[in-house]
Structure 1
Amino acid sequence: WRAPLILSAPCCHHDLQRRLKATVTPEPMTMVTRHGILRERLADVLTDAVRASLLRRSGYRVDVVEFVGSQHTPRNTLLRAIRVDDPAARRAGSGEYARFVEQWSVTPRLAELLEHPA
């Protein structure tokens, strides 16, 4: 899927929310995850960050930007990814993603799909 440009308005944040509920939260993040609404918002941010990291790991330079005013929707992020195939960026993306999985003990569905494409 080596597209030269990817524009993605992420949706489907509930998958990571569900997975985070089923795992042990790393300290000191329990102060956030013990409250339902804060856990949900954190999972939304983590979902977008993980997706950006997976794109970096796949050779893209990624920007996460607001694409509509927050008065219209609280989930108004756009992932803008340009293929640059920079080995250093790939390693950085792989490292930050691996640390996320290690600290949170969770593998997002997108990562599973990328590892085992249909």
Structure 2
Amino acid sequence: GDDRVVRSWDPLAGTEVAGLRGHTGRILAVTFSPDGSLLASGGEDGTIRLWRVPEEGRPTALATLLGTPDGWAALLPSGAYKCEGDVAGEFWHAVGMCRFEPGELDSHLPGVHRLPPEALL
């Protein structure tokens, strides 16, 4: 929606089950994986957010995906990230008003670390 929140509803009760926050722009599209265990939301902020959808309880953030002209990056709430291709200048960690290249801050920020491309999200 326009309020940057992905909302899920119980269709039988007509009540909201969860409001998923994370996008910084309007939500433009949502879709579930075929088995219903993942939800993807696409926003005006240029990101796709993946959410785990448990059988019981609230969905949780799995990853934020960024597409770049020559590669891609995935950011996980745990601080892990992975990227592939030429993402220099396109992908960066933002701290205050400063920009950093992938890997540059890993040794300075506890919990931030790059995953190998073959690692599962």
State TM-score, norm by structure 2. 0.27
State TM-score, norm by structure 1. 0.28
More strand by share: 2
Larger Rg: 2
More helix by share: 1
